Amino acid sequence: MTEMDSGAPKRTPRPRRQKVQSTEQVESGELLETGMAEARPLKPVIEDVLEEIAAARAEFEQSPPSERDMDFESTDAPVGEGETDREPGANGEGNGGGGEFAGGDDPNRRRRRRRGRGRGTTGPGDNTGYSQQPAQNQNRPPQRGRNGQGDRRHGQQGQPRRPHDGGGQRGYNNGPPRQQSNEPRSSEPRGPEVLVPVQGTLELHPKGYGFLRDAKAGYVSQETDAFVSGSLIEKYSLREGVHVTGECVSMGRGQGPRLKSVQTIEGRLPELYPAVKKFDDLTPINPFQLIKLETGTTPITMRVMDLLCPIGKGQRALLVAPPRSGKTMLLQEIADSVSKNHPDIYLIVLLIDERPEEVTEMRRRVNGEVVASSLDREVENHVRVSQLVFEKAKRMAESGRDVFLLLDSITRTARAFNKWTNTGRTGTGGLDVKAMDIPKKMFGMARQFDEGGSLTVVGTALIETGGRMDDAIFQEFKGTGNMEMVLSRELAERRIWP
């Protein structure tokens, strides 16, 4: 007769339960047959296993986490959102837990399994799991790995994360946990803005903004220079070199002041300045108004210049001088005569690549604005300062003022631009092909306007220095001026002045 005819087949138990033996059976030596072992209920065996598991778990809770446990925790896969939010025992994780541990597994393996899974809680309808464990063990929150991350998913009910201060190992602190505030950091409320008056000459940047440079500091970049935004420059049509007065506000630590409001632009109201014509739009004319240099019986040099080579408003004069011919003394006398006889003329003395002691002497003797970039400065500073000073002179001239500019020397200025351009193509005397473009443009700015205002430029050119570059520079400027005066070195050696 087949198995189907004999009736319903018997339920075959799990293979691992066939080897389960109670402690009483082992001690008494009574071994039951296979059929009787299958028919005998396993409830006493499960209870013994649960007691062993509960004792091992209590011992584990009382002992601190070992290095091995923490290493194991870090290698576990991260807990997903579904695992933290689902009910204990879902997917059958809690089913048959007692049977697995009773099957002779290693205690360390059981401990790792408990730490990595659903905390040993059983699903509904199962009586073979951890349902008989203490309540405090069932409600225990999930453990945290050595990286200190813990349960960070939404909807969690775990303990708050402890910050790692570096005192312990693998995310555990030896000291008390730090107190952390969950409130967002808010910056301290600023008080009312304090407006400070400021003035300076505007230097524009190619990106559209600018800074107000101080004339007393030689237009050198400083941290106290006020920042001018591009919106203000566009609003008031500000041009480079214009003199601006206004109010600035401090921008806080690590930042300089910022121009907040504009009061005057070249002595005019901000609303009236856009009506001023640009320098290139004015009408240049020949100089006809004499600038008197004679101040009395001494020095006699100024009287001779008024007779032989007078200087008028808008003159483009070139003083050609070899070394040791009295060039510096002549410039000082010219500057002194202009400041005494014509106080309405704004005097600027620009010294490029000169000796520092000459700069100090010029500032002590000349009653005017002395701007210097001595020979200990970089080439970029020579170029920047010279261009900014000439732009300032243009802004004053287009506003209707008379400006007298002394440049010492135009030869050294051309040398600085020759190093600055450096296109790689050289011409006569080693000059770059584009080195003389800007210096010639600066020297050619001298003119008198029919609408009013003038710019007079008197520059010195060095000759007989033994360098071909200096001779080439002089030849470039020789035909651009409308007045030229040559000093004699032989007369200077004979002590004949001028």
CA gap 104, 95 in Å, rounded: 17
Q: What is the pLDDT of residue 497?
A: 74
Angle, CA 444 vertex, CA 438 and CA 445 arms, to 5°: 95
pLDDT in tens, 261-317: 999 999 999 999 999 999 999 999 999 999 999 988 888 889 999 999 999 999 999
The strand pairing partners of 347, in sequence order, are 404
Residue 470 neighbours by CB distance under 10 Å:
20
Asked if 110 and 59 touch (Cβ cutoff 8 Å), the reply is no
Q: What is the pLDDT of residue 132?
A: 43
DSSP string, 407-439: EE-HHHHHHHHHHHH--S-B-GGG-BTTTTHHH
Q: Of 325, 329, 375, which Cα lies nearest the Cα of 493? A: 325
Peptide bond into 498 cis (omega under 30): yes
Q: What is the pLDDT of residue 78?
A: 46
pLDDT in tens, 444-496: 999 999 999 999 999 999 888 888 888 888 888 888 888 899 998 888 888 88
Q: What is the pLDDT of residue 12?
A: 56
Q: Is the pLDDT of residue 75 over 60?
A: no
> What superfamily does domain 284-493 belong to in CATH?
P-loop containing nucleotide triphosphate hydrolases (3.40.50.300)
Q: What is the pLDDT of residue 325?
A: 84
CA gap 311, 341 in Å, rounded: 13
CB within 8 Å of 16: residues ≥ 6 apart: 99, 103
Q: Of 338, 293, 294, 285, which Cα lies nearest the Cα of 314? A: 285
Q: Which of 65-79, 224-238, 363-377 has the lowest mean pLDDT?
A: 65-79
Here the tokens at position 449 are 């306007």
Q: What is the pLDDT of residue 88?
A: 42
DSSP string, 91-150: GGSSTTHHHHHHT---HHHHHHHHHHTTTTPPPTT-SSSSTTS-HHHHTPPPP--TTS--
pLDDT in tens, 201-211: 999 999 999 99
Here the tokens at position 71 are 């290493």
Structural domain boundaries in the chain: 23-138, 195-276, 284-493
Max Cα–Cα distance, the chain, nearest Å: 154
Angle, CA 37 vertex, CA 33 and CA 39 arms, to 5°: 120
Domain 195-276 has CATH 2.40.50.140: yes
